[in-house]
Structure 1
Amino acid sequence: MTDHQYSKKEIIAKAEKIAEQISETSQVRFYKQAEAKISANKKVQRLVDEIKHYQKESVNLQHFGKTEAYHQNEAVIDRLQAELDAIPVVQEFKQSQSDVNDFLQLMTKIVSQHVANENDR
């Protein structure tokens, strides 16, 4: 084991290299492809826009104490969200998002453990 001290610049350069390597993994590539499909899908974009509209409306209704209208609005959001979630490309995107998140959490855990182990020496 060498006792080399890395400069901040060297650490950042290594981190950038690791980030580049991670972005080339199959999980991230699949995520990027799924994201592109989502962006290109007009139905998905329409539903997302509608959901955002109703969410803003819900915030206003809640703020002004319009309880009944708020609950009706939330029901519309739930219906639109269910419709969105039923679209296969959305399911694919959510799964790829989960896979990438799990992968990044694993990488973070490995780095944290390595740092902790180095501090114990």
Structure 2
Amino acid sequence: MTYSKEEIIAKAREVADMIAETEEVEFFKRAEAQINENQKVREKIASLKSLQKQAVNFQAYGKERALGLIEGKIQKIEEEIDAVPIVQEFKQSQSDVNSLLQMVSTAIANQVTNNIITSTGGDILRGETGSKVEASKPTKLS
């Protein structure tokens, strides 16, 4: 059976919907909501964004000393934000969701590769398609 691109995309959307309903994604959403509700974190993020804009301007105008001072302030605020427990949990949940997506991507790629190898009469253990296996067999001399 041959599938169309549209059918494959439809199945990919189904898998995406399944992923969106995992514990990892649910935790990510809860952690993000808690960060958005945290006034202290919101203020620090606003300060960080303002300093980052200043840094871009200082860099554009070649103001190295001012840029260095701003970068120090940026680093300090980033450390303060990262020290908030919910931010640490949020970053861990981001990593967990990314790992899940990577696992799905790897599983798809491996399955496609294995199906190609199998359908061409190849050797999965060697990772060779049937065309490579056939090409490596000695030819009969007449």
TM-score above 0.5: yes
Query: Can you give the 5+ residue segments of structure 2 that lack an aligned partner in the other structure?
Result: 120-142
Query: Can you give the 5+ residue segments of structure 1 that lack an aligned partner in the other structure?
Result: none
Query: 1:71 maps to what in 2?
Result: 68
Deviating above 6 A after TM superposition, structure 1's stretches of 4 or more consecutive aligned residues are none
Displacement, 1:49? Answer: 1.0
Query: 1:80 maps to what in 2?
Result: 77
Query: 1:109 maps to what in 2?
Result: 106
- Establish whether residue 61 from structure 1 lines up as the match of residue 47 from structure 2: no
In structure 1, the residue corresponding to 2:62 is in which secondary structure?
A: coil
Q: Percent identity?
A: 46
1:39-62 CA distance string (max 9 Å, x none)? 111111111111111111011111
Displacement, 1:15? Answer: 1.2
Query: 1:32 maps to what in 2?
Result: 29
TM-score normalized by the length of structure 2: 0.79
The 2-side partners of 1:119 and 1:105 are apart by 21
The 2-side partners of 1:75 and 1:55 are apart by 11
How many matched pairs?
A: 118
Query: 2:97 maps to what in 1?
Result: 100
- Establish whether residue 51 from structure 1 lines up as the match of residue 23 from structure 2: no
In structure 2, the residue corresponding to 1:56 is in which secondary structure?
A: helix
The 2-side partners of 1:106 and 1:74 are apart by 36
AA partner of residue 14 (structure 1): K
> Larger radius of gyration, structure 1 or 2?
2
Moved more, 67-76 or 35-44: 35-44
Displacement, 1:103? Answer: 1.0
Displacement, 1:10? Answer: 1.9
- Over the aligned positions, Cα root-mean-square deviation in angstroms equals 1.0
In structure 2, the residue corresponding to 1:5 is in which secondary structure?
A: coil
Structure with more of its chain in helix, by fraction = 1
The 2-side partners of 1:58 and 1:103 are apart by 35
1:52-95 CA distance string (max 9 Å, x none)? 11111011111111111110000100111111000011011001
Query: 2:20 maps to what in 1?
Result: 23
